[in-house]
Amino acid sequence: MSVSVLIVEDDVDLREELADFLRGQDYAVTDVGTVREAENALTRPFDLLVLDINLPDGNGFELCHRLRPYLRSGIVMCTGRSERELRIDSLKGGADAYLVKPVDPDELVATLVSVYRRTLPTPTPLFNLPPPAQWRLDSVRTTLFSPNGASLVLTASETLLLTTLLNAPQHQISRLALLAAFKAAGTAMDGRRIETMTSRLRRKVLDSTGQQLPLTSVYGKGYSLTDHAALV
């Protein structure tokens, strides 16, 4: 559906030039030349308004200020007056952008795109989104579940490796701390055997689930689970 624009401009030639250009850019354009015509047109909603300030029967700035509490439309003031105070007052009074004539049609389109983007409904905040699919480890049943629902049974050593990682801060642990965990569990282990086990575990998981286990070696630090994972 086309973005709808209401142009309020008393200069007929300029109004028609801008309206024709925007229609060529697939905007749905309505153009009027007075405050009264604008008020009549606004009985239906528009996505964007382009308002001149000096109009035959009123003031576009006052119209903007009056309409702002009732409109979600983006409002662009487009006028030949470039006074700093007027620009500031327009933005404070409810305008979303301020352009000075003569207006470059391409600049107008870029401004409308920017304003329209800002007036779209606010996206759902990230913290309200459903959590991403996780890798889940059942340490009692020594079973790993992948995000696509597949599962596989692990050895006791593989389960201890992943459990230790999942209990570590940020799912990252040094090689020495990992060796200590195996020693505390009464399992003989050294650095080379851990590296071999992690390599085989990644291959085993890929073959069984079709997904890459996000278990990585961190140079000089140890090992890390780099994706969403949890104990169950």
Q: Is the pLDDT of residue 129 over 50?
A: no
- One DSSP character per residue, the chain reads -PPEEEEE-S-HHHHHHHHHHHHHTT-EEEEESSHHHHHHHTTS--SEEEE-SEETTEEHHHHHHHHGGG--SEEEEEES---HHHHHHHHHTT-SEEEESSPPHHHHHHHHHHHHHHHSPPPPPGGGSPPPP-EEEETTTTEEE-TTS-EEEPPHHHHHHHHHHHHSGGGEE-HHHHHHHHHHTT----HHHHHHHHHHHHHHHHHHHSS---EEEETTTEEEE-S-EEE-
Classify domain 4-119 by CATH architecture.
3-Layer(aba) Sandwich (3.40)
Q: Is the pLDDT of residue 163 over 50?
A: yes
% of the chain exceeding 70 in pLDDT: 91
Q: Which residue has the tokens 């107008």?
A: 108
What's the pLDDT band for 35 if we cut at 50, 70, 90? very high
Residue limits of CATH 1.10.10.10 in the chain: 135-231
% of the chain exceeding 90 in pLDDT: 34
Residue limits of CATH 3.40.50.2300 in the chain: 4-119
Task: Look over the chain and give the mean of its residue pLDDT values, rounded to a whole number.
Answer: 85
pLDDT (average), residues 53-71 = 85
pLDDT in tens, 183-221: 898 888 888 888 888 889 999 999 998 988 888 877 667
> What pTM does this model have?
0.52
Classify domain 135-231 by CATH architecture.
Orthogonal Bundle (1.10)
* Cβ-contact 148, 211 below 8 angstroms: yes
Work out the number of other CB atoms within 10 angstroms of the CB of residue 222: 19
pLDDT in tens, 12-34: 999 999 999 999 999 999 999 99
pLDDT at residue 127 in the model: 44
Q: Is the pLDDT of residue 4 over 70?
A: yes
